[in-house]
């Protein structure tokens, strides 16, 4: 019962801290903001490193929580299809690289999990309403090789989102 209460409190806090006041999501055709974040292996990855490549950034509230695990596994299981389509996958949260490393290892994620601990990218794209937000909003972006947004996802179903993004990748 104590765990259930803690889980309920976590989801209530996520709802309060991630919905109001967030910046507008960049729209399709808009340049995606430049960014540089550390991944769960300690490597810094930036948008400039990805110039000429398509990628998806899926923001998730908290490592090792039920919805985030479901979404992460869906991207993991779809990873070969994303590779075939030439699209790189990146998960983004406010978790530390060490927390993300535990999550990636526990679930066998073959793609990087990025730590936006300062919430700078999250603030720029509407995944956080303030630099003190407790959790990222569950949103995603499909970004083209030109650095422009192909599609912004403001409403994400953890179990079906990877398939949705795959369906939106241009030929």
Return the closest-CA partner of residue 140 out of 82, 60, 65, 29. Answer: 60
Beta strand spans in the chain (E): 36-39, 44-46, 54-59, 87-93, 113-115, 140-143, 149-153
pLDDT beyond 80 at 22:
no
Confidence of residue 24 (pLDDT cuts 50, 70, 90): confident
Beta strands in 5-159, from DSSP E residues, in sequence order: 36-39, 44-46, 54-59, 87-93, 113-115, 140-143, 149-153
Q: Which of the two residues, 77 and 5, has the higher pLDDT score? A: 77
Tell me 67's DSSP state.
H
Per-residue confidence (pLDDT) for residue 171, from 0 to 100: 85
Any idea which of 20-24, 35-39, 92-96, 149-153 has the lowest mean pLDDT?
A: 20-24
User: Is the model's pLDDT at 9 over the cut of 50?
Assistant: no
Instruction: Tell whether domain 2-168 is in CATH 3.40.30.10.
Output: yes
Of 68, 87, 123, 139, which is the active-site residue?
Answer: 68
Predicted confidence (pLDDT) per residue in 56-81, tens digit: 999 999 999 999 999 999 999 999 99
Task: Decide if 93 contacts 116 (C-beta within 8 A).
Answer: yes
3-class DSSP state of 143: strand
- Per-residue confidence (pLDDT) for residue 163, from 0 to 100: 97
Domain boundaries along the sequence of the chain? 2-168
**115 with 39: CB under 8 angstroms?**
yes
What are 121-156's pLDDT values in tens digits? 999 999 999 999 999 999 999 999 999 999 999 989
Tell whether pTM > 0.75.
Answer: yes
User: How far is Cα 80 from Cα 102, in angstroms, rounded to an integer?
Assistant: 22
19 annotated active-site: no
How many alpha carbons lie under 13 Å from residue 72 in its C-beta half-sphere?
28
Cα torsion at 26, 149, 62, 133 (round to 10°)?
-20
């Amino acid at each position: 019962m104590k765990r259930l209460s803690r889980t309920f409190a976590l989801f209530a806090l996520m709802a309060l801290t991630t919905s109001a006041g967030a910046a507008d999501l960049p729209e399709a055709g808009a340049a995606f903001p430049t960014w540089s974040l550390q991944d769960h292996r300690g490597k810094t990855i930036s948008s400039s490193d990805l110039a000429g490549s398509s990628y998806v950034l899926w923001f998730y509230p908290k490592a090792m929580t039920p919805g985030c695990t479901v979404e992460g596994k869906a991207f993991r299981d779809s990873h070969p299809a994303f590779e075939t389509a030439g699209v790189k996958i990146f998960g983004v949260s406010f978790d530390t690289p060490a927390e993300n490393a535990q999550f990636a290892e526990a679930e066998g994620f073959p793609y990087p999990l990025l730590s936006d601990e300062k919430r700078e990218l999250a603030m720029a794209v509407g995944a956080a309403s303030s630099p003190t937000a407790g959790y990222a909003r569950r949103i995603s972006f499909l970004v083209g090789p030109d650095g422009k947004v192909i599609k912004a996802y403001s409403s994400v179903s953890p179990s079906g989102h990877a398939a949705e993004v795959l369906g939106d990748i241009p030929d």
